[in-house]
Amino acid sequence: MREPLEIQNLASELELDLKDRYGLMVGGSALWRELGYASYDAFRKAKQRGTIDVPLFEVPNRRGFFALSKEVACWIATQRCARQQTV
């Protein structure tokens, strides 16, 4: 199923912004903040529970977890449009 055009357009804008700020990957405090967590501990607990909807991965010789800017942007756009429809 194709994403609505609104989500695609918003995701593209967000992706450009995220890539400008962080590059192709988002990690560290930027990652948990962009995903809307108030602290690293909240992010860590969500990861343990398996409730983070963005695919996370590790990079050899780097600490922590990373996500692709594109996937973070798509997740944010999807959340925005889903919440907009329920209000």
pLDDT score at 1: 39
Tokens of 30: 């930027």
Extended beta strands in the chain, E state? 25-27, 66-68
Please say if the pLDDT value at position 86 is more than 90. Answer: no
Q: What's the rounded Cα separation, in Å, for the pair 46 and 41?
A: 9
Strand-pair partners of 25: 68
Which tens digits make up the pLDDT trace of 25-64? 999 999 999 999 999 999 999 999 999 999 999 999 999 9
Q: Provide the Cα torsion 37, 41, 42, 46; round to 10°.
A: 110
Give the residue extent of every domain in the chain: 5-86
